[in-house]
Structure 1
Amino acid sequence: MTPEILKKKIDNLYNQYNRRGYVHPDPLEFLYLYKEIRDREIVGLIASSLAYGRVKQILKSVSFVLDMMNPSPYLFIKKLSYRSICKAFEGFTHRFATGDHLAGLLWGIKSVIAQFGSLNKCFSHGMSPDDDTVIPAMIFFTGQLTAGKSKPGHLVPLPQKGSACKRMNLFLRWMVRKDRVDPGGWKNVPLSKLVIPLDTHMHKISLKLGLTAKKQANMNTALEITSCFKQLVPDDPVKYDFVLTRLGIREDMDIKLICP
């Protein structure tokens, strides 16, 4: 399949399915509930960090956390001490994550906001005009989140270790892009530098479409797939992530829609 034909097919998919009506079930839907960017960026980081495992459990875990933090996750984090945060989520579990891991993430968020003013400002502080992708900024950002006395464990990935960092790239897609699905809100992070959120599902789709031949779903593979999408949409390489990941997830959508 030529790039031109592939782009036409995916564009048709995008125009038809890139709508909020096709989002559920997805942790992205929690971001729609928060108009204030200071709340939405915190919700986005929490929701993406917990976005692994069965989607039903993901939604349950994120909902539990946000119910504890409402009506404003920003004010919740700003007002509470580390001890209070630990107590609030004592007994929380989400697969491998514990209440201590979650408290570590929230304390990291609190520390970053105290130092930089927002998660957005921290991330953009780590960016350079010479960077080809957001990876250097992601290394800086995750370093700041994990620099405190508490540790969020696997909830915050470390890009320098070669992980595809699917959840962090998903968070960036949600916060940087703005269309009918992604709510956006962040500034000073170019769309063109985003990296595809690569998991096993997206990896299988990319293999079938011939976007990669690599067998491991790591950062190198994510960058290769992103490069292919850049040939289709240079200014917005993760534009098609949402609609492509619906294939196989939703019963009414299948890979055969673009690759018979």
Structure 2
Amino acid sequence: MKFEELKTFLDEKADQYNHSGFIEKDPISIPHRFVLKQDIEISGFLTATISWGNRKSILNSAEKMLGFMNHSPYDFVLNVSEKYLKSLEGKPVHRTFNGEDFAEFIRNLKRIYAEYGSMEPLFFPQENESSYYHALDRFRNVFLGNADHRSRKHVSSTYKNSSAKRLMMFLRWMVRQDNKKVDFGIWKLHSPAHLSVPLDVHTGNVSRSLGLVIRKQNDWKTVEELDVILRKMDAADPAKYDFALFGLGVSGAL
């Protein structure tokens, strides 16, 4: 397909899959249960963190985390005791993300919300940055702190060429603003123009089938390759094409 034909095709598919019916079976359904900004952030971040593997399994594991937090994420993060966190350390959560990892994530979130009141300022790109590449590394350093804890492996590093799929998905949820009511767009000081598509098996395979990327690895270099063409299609909202690429991959339509 020529560029204009491909753009028209992907615009149509993005519009087809980006609708409220998408929410129910997707991990984004978890933060959609909440109204308070901090509840949305915390439940969204934790859900995005465990978003690998079968979507039904992801949702079940997210339900487990909500249960640990008494279905009040922000209140839990602010007021949880160390004794209670210790009691969670032996519990299973989601595959290699275990109770010890969950407890450490909550400790980190407690520190961050006490200092910043929101996760939003930790992700700001600087003026000369066109993507979240550097911002994600800055966030990682602040969130993890100096502790050499096993949970570090669950926060991807773009500086190690990771596609950071789960963090990019979380950012899409928080930053994208449209009228479809799927993404939240609650981080008003961020620009959707900085977003990249969360690159996973589905979006990567479809991107290669359509000739959007050549690289075979699903890493940050491929994210940058994909950024080039998607930003030509829509510089203001390139991440909207996540719906098209993911939808085509999951549905088997391509």
* TM-score after normalising by structure 2: 0.93
* Conservation of the 8 A alpha-carbon contact between 2:13 and 2:243: no
Is 1:243 matched up with 2:244? yes
What residue number does 1:258 align with?
none
What residue number does 1:53 align with?
53
Change (3 A) 1:143 1:43: same
Alignment root-mean-square deviation, CA: 1.6
Matches within 5 A, 1:203-222: 203-222=204-223
Is 1:118 matched up with 2:118? yes
* Conservation of the 8 A alpha-carbon contact between 1:53 and 1:95: no
Deviations 1:63-105 (CA, angstroms, capped at 9, x unpaired): 1101221342011010013442232453123111111111111
Structure 1 residue 174 displacement after superposition: 0.5
Structure 1 residue 239 displacement after superposition: 0.9
For residues 2 and 245 of structure 2, the distance between their equivalents in structure 1, rounded to whole angstroms, comes to 18
* Conservation of the 8 A alpha-carbon contact between 1:108 and 1:148: no
For residues 240 and 156 of structure 2, the distance between their equivalents in structure 1, rounded to whole angstroms, comes to 23
For residues 86 and 253 of structure 2, the distance between their equivalents in structure 1, rounded to whole angstroms, comes to 43
Q: Which amino acid aligns with 2:154?
A: L
For residues 28 and 39 of structure 1, the distance between their equivalents in structure 2, rounded to whole angstroms, comes to 13
For residues 23 and 120 of structure 1, the distance between their equivalents in structure 2, rounded to whole angstroms, comes to 23
* Conservation of the 8 A alpha-carbon contact between 2:203 and 2:249: no
Which of the residues 125, 143, 146 maps onto 1:145? 143
* Conservation of the 8 A alpha-carbon contact between 1:105 and 1:155: no
Bigger mean CA deviation after superposition, 75-84 or 220-229: 75-84
What residue number does 1:166 align with?
165
* Conservation of the 8 A alpha-carbon contact between 2:66 and 2:73: yes
Q: Which amino acid aligns with 2:167?
A: M
Stretches of structure 2 lacking an aligned partner (at least 5 in a row): none
* Conservation of the 8 A alpha-carbon contact between 1:159 and 1:165: yes
* Conservation of the 8 A alpha-carbon contact between 1:177 and 1:183: yes
Structure 1 residue 121 displacement after superposition: 2.0
Secondary structure of the structure 2 residue equivalent to 1:97: coil
Deviations 1:188-219 (CA, angstroms, capped at 9, x unpaired): 22111112110121110110111111011110
Structure with the bigger RCO (C-alpha within 8 Å, sep 6+) is 2
Structure 1 residue 148 displacement after superposition: 5.2
Change (3 A) 1:202 1:195: same
Secondary structure of the structure 2 residue equivalent to 1:239: helix
Q: Which amino acid aligns with 1:147?
A: G
Is 1:10 matched up with 2:10? yes
Structure 1 residue 248 displacement after superposition: 3.5
Change (3 A) 1:66 1:93: closer
